[in-house]
């Protein structure tokens, strides 16, 4: 609703001002005044849009609000261009100067973006092309439509039909060829922009033709009812065809992380509002309201269809369409065989006899069918993946007949090509090393202690001495993603890696070790698979115990465990179960569904309660609930609906105390289960008194729980054009402290606890400065300037804290550094021998070493005992 008000308000304001300017004052100069109003308003709106392009964070709201009216203003100005000749040179020159300055600035900015190859500017270029396309089509429709409205209608229908018939929805708008580099497919973008850019202006032109008068000619011509009904019929036909094309675009979007439907909704909004404004300001009397009605009547169904369908309609998906198309081709192949006695050698032989064209599969962009045929055999297939984000590819045969010869065929070649182009299967790209940074200590080159291409890193043992990890291999079987996990344990004191006697299992694609394992309080390690295996290890020893036979059900997952490992959450096909990490006894949780989509779990201090944030599916309409389970009884205490949850914002659960739970999803909320019903507190509005939107206006959020589990701190780093302060709330004092820092803030508490409130600069400033605050002395602050990490690939560093040695760990593509605090002295700097740009660092809990996992590279061990 807020977005609708933002978009419509400028249109209404311009319509009202335009009407008043024409109606008031000397009637002989009304046309000239109106033209000047249109010209200067168009120039001003374009200037704000340009500023929004150059400085996106500063005036984002103004650019967003004025964007939809730009084409309407430009077209109205050109429609009244006859007034230009009546202006004096003194009046013309400022307009020419402003328009020229705008044109030069746009050209320079465009050249800068193209030469820089900034992938983050591709949306700006797209919408710039959208403004130009909508303006051009709207002007053509208004001028040409007076004389040949039905010809425009015919051309429009012909184009939309052509777009559908030749599967132009498979075209790619833009491709990121490398990090920070982009390639815009201009012709493809124009093909997409022509859909709403042409159709909605033609609909508006036909709508305007139903009205009685036009202010551009000052002629009043009655329109016959037959003409009105005829034009209305054409508008309905065009709108129905437009929605049908959008339906197919949403299906094509399912092949990749496409943004076609989002962009089409936005461009449709621009075209609808601009066309409505042109209708309103080129008609007279009450008929002006037809413009606003037109904009709402067009945008409403488009928005509703997008929000309710989202790529699926009565079970139809890109996969079912592919199967239907394969069946159609199979029927054509069999028909060809019945007529000729042999199967076609290629699919081209089916055209134009059995098929007028061979439709494309809708699995992967740029991929067609694989076909192999002979006199008495054929097979039809395609490269397949289960989901656009899946890195696992396979060949799927959709139809075959006869004795197909063994050996490689076209699909094998296509599969090899796709896998070679995939960053997942291909060799790791050789990074271009950045120039070595300046650092005050020697750079130590570190070699990997284990080379491997894929890891799944688990948790540290309860005593912090062992880190479990697995070497992983990913593959697909019958369209289901699997991975093989090969267990290893790393000793933090020696850096040695040991392998248990039974170490290799295959599980379905999941979160790796974290969905299948847990440490027990006595230091043993539990591993569970979907096949029902349940193994208990004594790490780096021959002690292996099989537990599956001692339980009445076969467990498939270890979903969560508390900090000490004494309380564990298991799952089988029917239910969740609680396991005592000491006695190994299990109890069933009744009433909690196991079919969930990306769930979240957390244990309260002491493990007395378990919170489960569960959702039945990825869509907003899918049910989502918060379950609170009591450890002592294994019963469900509370079931709370989670309104508006989706795969993008299913609330993460985090216990703050034994009674208070933090939910961060679409809002930042604290639930207090010490009252009945649970008290609900909106953190931003009720505690920090901030009128901002979570998480969009927040760059950092963190919380710290007191050791006794009775109190907590919550902190947020605001990222808003008018506010960039850090806020910290203490539940003990119920006070909020505000820190007006121009850099990220790191706060340190008793017992080695700390909080990170990071600023995210856009564009990246690579300013590695931090304000250090000790909460027992909040007025004493230290500015930390971290050296050695510029230039680098990753624009933001995430520091780690070693409380035992009062040191911070930083890492980037330059390497890994340790900095002492509060002195700010660099005490060590290590550089990976592979010069990997992206990797993860796992400090040991007691500070003995750093473990570095560089995917597709290796595992590194950096001892710290001598530092």
> For 351-412, what is the HEC assignment?
CCCCCCCCCCCCCCCCCCCEEEECCCEEEEEEEECCCCCCCCCEEEEEEEEECCCCCCCHHH
**CA of residue 844 relative to chain centroid, distance:** 32
The mean-pLDDT minimum among 254-268, 517-531, 596-610 falls in 254-268
Average pLDDT over residues 241-263: 84
- Three-state SS sequence of 502-532: CCEEEEECCCHHHHCEEECCCCCEEEECCCC
Q: How far is CA 244 from CA 86, 194, 232, 249, 695, in A?
A: 47, 15, 18, 9, 35
Residue 52 pLDDT grade (very low, low, confident, very high; cuts 50, 70, 90): confident
More confident residue, 365 or 771: 771
Would you say residue 644 has pLDDT above 70? no
Q: Which residues pair with 736 in a beta bridge?
A: 729
Query: What ranges in 180-220 are assigned the alpha helix state H?
Result: 186-209
Residue-level pLDDT at 867: 43
Contact 273, 7 (CB under 8 A): yes
Q: In what order do the strands lie in the sheet with 450-452?
A: 450-452, 857-863, 849-854, 840-843
Statement: residue 177 has pLDDT above 70: no
- Average pLDDT on 556-575 reads 91
Q: For 15-42, write each residue's pLDDT tens digit.
A: 788 888 877 767 777 888 899 999 999 9
Pairing of the two strands 534-537 and 544-546: antiparallel
Of the ranges 282-291, 384-393, 601-610, 778-787, which is most confident?
601-610
pLDDT at 480 > cutoff 90: no
Integer-rounded Cα radius of gyration of the chain = 32
pLDDT at 217 over 50: no
Stretch 158-185: mean pLDDT: 75
Q: What is the pLDDT of residue 263?
A: 84
Q: Looking at per-residue confidence, does 383 or 504 come out higher?
A: 383
Confidence class for position 500, pLDDT limits 50, 70, 90: confident
Pick from 316, 302, 313, 51: nearest CA to 199: 302
pLDDT band at 216 (very low <50, low <70, confident <90, very high): very low
617 CB-near residues (< 8 Å, 6+ apart):
597
Q: Which residue has the higher pLDDT, 116 or 249?
A: 249
For range 592-596, the mean pLDDT: 85
Percent of the chain clearing pLDDT 70 (strictly above): 88
Coil, strand or helix: which one is 99?
helix
| Residue 330 pLDDT | 96
**Angle, CA 557 vertex, CA 551 and CA 559 arms, to 5°:** 115
First-last CA distance in the chain: 58
Domain boundaries, the chain: 2-309, 322-421
Considering only residues 527 and 501, tell me which one the structure prediction assigns the higher pLDDT.
527
The whole-number pLDDT of residue 317 equals 85
Range in 167-171, 486-490, 515-519, 681-685 the model is least confident about:
167-171
**Do 318 and 360 touch, CB atoms closer than 8 A?**
no
Predicted local confidence at residue 477, as pLDDT: 66
Q: For the residues 787-807, what does the mean pLDDT come to?
A: 92
The pLDDT of residue 60 is: 45
The mean pLDDT of 556-578, rounded to a whole number, is: 92
Among 90-99, 392-401, 506-515, 646-655, the range scoring the smallest mean pLDDT is: 506-515
On the question of pLDDT at 632 being above 60, the answer is: yes
For range 546-571, the mean pLDDT: 92
Mean pLDDT of the chain: 86
Per-residue DSSP letter, 301 = H
pLDDT bin (cut points 50, 70, 90) of residue 68 is confident
Give the whole-number percent of the chain exceeding pLDDT 90.
55
In contact, 95 and 40? CB cutoff 8 Å: yes
Query: Average pLDDT of 454-459?
Result: 87
Query: Among positive and negative, which fits the CA dihedral 125, 126, 131, 134?
Result: positive
Helix spans in 183-288 (H):
186-209, 225-253, 260-281
d(CA 466, CA 657): 29
pLDDT band at 288 (very low <50, low <70, confident <90, very high): confident
| pLDDT tops 70 at residue 215 | no
Of the two residues 520 and 20, the one the predictor is more confident about is 520
Centre a 10 Å sphere on the Cβ of residue 356 and count the other Cβ atoms it contains. 10
pLDDT single digits (tens) 401-417 = 999 998 889 999 999 88
| pTM score, whole prediction | 0.68
Is the pLDDT confidence value at 311 over 50?
no
| Residue 569 · residue 547 · CB < 8 Å | no
Q: What is the C-alpha separation between 74 and 76, in angstroms, rounded?
A: 6
């Amino acid at each position: 609703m807020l977005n609708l008000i933002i978009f419509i308000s400028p249109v209404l304001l311009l319509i009202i001002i335009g009407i008043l300017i024409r109606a008031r004052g000397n009637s002989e100069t009304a046309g000239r005044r109106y033209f000047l109003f249109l010209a200067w308003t168009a120039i001003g709106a374009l200037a704000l849009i340009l500023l929004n392009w150059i400085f996106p964070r500063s005036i984002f709201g103004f650019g967003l609000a004025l964007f939809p009216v730009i084409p309407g203003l430009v077209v109205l100005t050109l429609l009244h261009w006859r007034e230009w000749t009546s202006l004096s040179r003194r009046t013309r020159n400022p307009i020419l100067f402003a328009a020229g300055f705008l044109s030069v600035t746009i050209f320079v900015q465009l050249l800068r973006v193209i030469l820089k190859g900034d992938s983050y500017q591709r949306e700006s270029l797209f919408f710039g092309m959208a403004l130009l396309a909508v303006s051009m089509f709207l002007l053509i429709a208004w001028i040409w439509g007076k004389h040949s409205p039905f010809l425009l209608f015919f051309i429009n229908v012909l184009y939309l039909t052509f777009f559908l018939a030749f599967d132009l929805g498979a075209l790619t708008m833009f491709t990121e060829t490398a990090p920070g580099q982009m390639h815009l497919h201009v012709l493809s973008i124009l093909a997409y922009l022509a859909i709403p850019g042409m159709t909605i202006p033609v609909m508006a032109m036909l709508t305007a033709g139903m009205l009685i008068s036009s202010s551009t000619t000052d002629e009043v011509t009655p329109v016959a009812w037959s003409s009105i009904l005829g034009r209305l019929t054409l508008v309905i036909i065009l709108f129905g065809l437009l929605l049908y094309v959008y339906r197919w675009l949403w299906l094509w979007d399912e092949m990749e992380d496409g943004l076609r439907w989002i962009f089409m909704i936005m461009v449709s909004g621009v075209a609808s509002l601009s066309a409505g404004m042109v209708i309103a300001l080129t008609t007279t009397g009450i008929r002006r309201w037809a413009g606003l009605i037109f904009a709402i009547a067009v945008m409403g169904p488009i928005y509703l269809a997008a929000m309710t369908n989202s790529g699926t309609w009565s079970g139809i998906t890109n996969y079912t369409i592919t199967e239907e198309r394969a069946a159609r081709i199979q029927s054509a192949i069999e028909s060809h065989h019945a007529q000729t006695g042999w199967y076609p050698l290629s699919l081209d032989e089916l055209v134009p006899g059995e098929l007028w064209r061979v439709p494309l599969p809708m699995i992967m962009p740029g991929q067609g069918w694989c076909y192999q045929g002979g006199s008495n055999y054929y097979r039809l297939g395609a490269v397949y993946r289960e989901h656009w984000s899946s890195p696992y590819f396979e060949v799927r045969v959709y139809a075959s007949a006869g004795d197909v010869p063994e050996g490689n065929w076209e699909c094998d070649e296509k599969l090899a090509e796709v896998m070679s182009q995939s960053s997942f299967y291909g060799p790791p790209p050789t990074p271009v090393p950045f120039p070595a940074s300046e650092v005050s200590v020697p750079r130590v080159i570190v070699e990997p202690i284990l080379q491997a291409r894929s890891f799944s890193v688990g948790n540290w043992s309860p005593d912090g001495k062992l880190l479990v990890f697995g070497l992983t291999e990913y593959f697909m079987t019958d369209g289901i993603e699997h991975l093989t996990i090969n267990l290893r344990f790393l000793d933090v004191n020696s850096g040695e890696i040991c392998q248990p006697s039974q170490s290799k299992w295959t599980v379905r694609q999941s979160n790796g070790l974290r969905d299948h394992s847990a440490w027990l309080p006595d230091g043993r390690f539990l591993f569970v698979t979907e096949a029902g295996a349940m193994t208990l290890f004594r790490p780096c020893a021959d002690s292996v115990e099989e537990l599956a036979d001692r339980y009445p059900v076969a467990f498939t997952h270890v979903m969560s465990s508390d900090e000490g490992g004494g309380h564990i959450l298991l799952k089988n096909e029917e239910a969740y179960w609680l396991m005592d990490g000491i006695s190994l006894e299990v109890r069933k949780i009744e009433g909690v569904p196991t079919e969930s989509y990306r769930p979240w779990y957390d244990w309260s201090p002491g493990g007395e309660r378990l919170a489960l944030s569960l959702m039945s599916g990825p869509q907003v309409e899918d049910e989502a609930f918060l379950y609170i389970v009591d450890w002592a009884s294994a019963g469900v205490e509370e079931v709370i609906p989670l309104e508006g949850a989706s795969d993008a914002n299913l609330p993460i659960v985090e216990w703050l105390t034994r009674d208070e739970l933090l939910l961060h999803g679409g809002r930042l909320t604290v639930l207090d289960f010490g009252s009945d019903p649970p008290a609900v507190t909106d953190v931003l509005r009720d505690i920090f008194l901030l009128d901002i939107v979570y998480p969009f206006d927040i760059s950092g959020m963190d919380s710290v729980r007191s050791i006794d589990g009775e109190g907590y701190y919550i902190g947020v780093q605001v990222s808003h054009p008018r506010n960039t302060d850090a806020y910290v709330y203490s539940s003990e004092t119920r006070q909020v402290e505000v820190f007006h820092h121009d850099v990220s803030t790191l706060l340190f508490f008793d017992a080695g606890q700390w909080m990170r409130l990071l600023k995210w600069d856009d564009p990246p400033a690579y300013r590695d400065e931090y304000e250090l605050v000790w909460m027992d002395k909040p007025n004493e602050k230290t500015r930390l300037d971290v050296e050695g990490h510029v230039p680098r690939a990753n624009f933001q560093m995430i520091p780690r804290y070693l409380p035992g040695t009062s040191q911070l760990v930083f890492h980037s593509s330059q390497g890994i550094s340790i900095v002492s605090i509060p002195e700010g002295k660099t005490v060590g700097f290590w550089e990976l021998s592979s010069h990997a740009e992206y990797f993860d660092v796992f400090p040991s809990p007691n500070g003995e070493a750093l473990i570095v996992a560089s995917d597709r590279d290796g595992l590194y061990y950096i001892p710290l005992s001598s530092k």
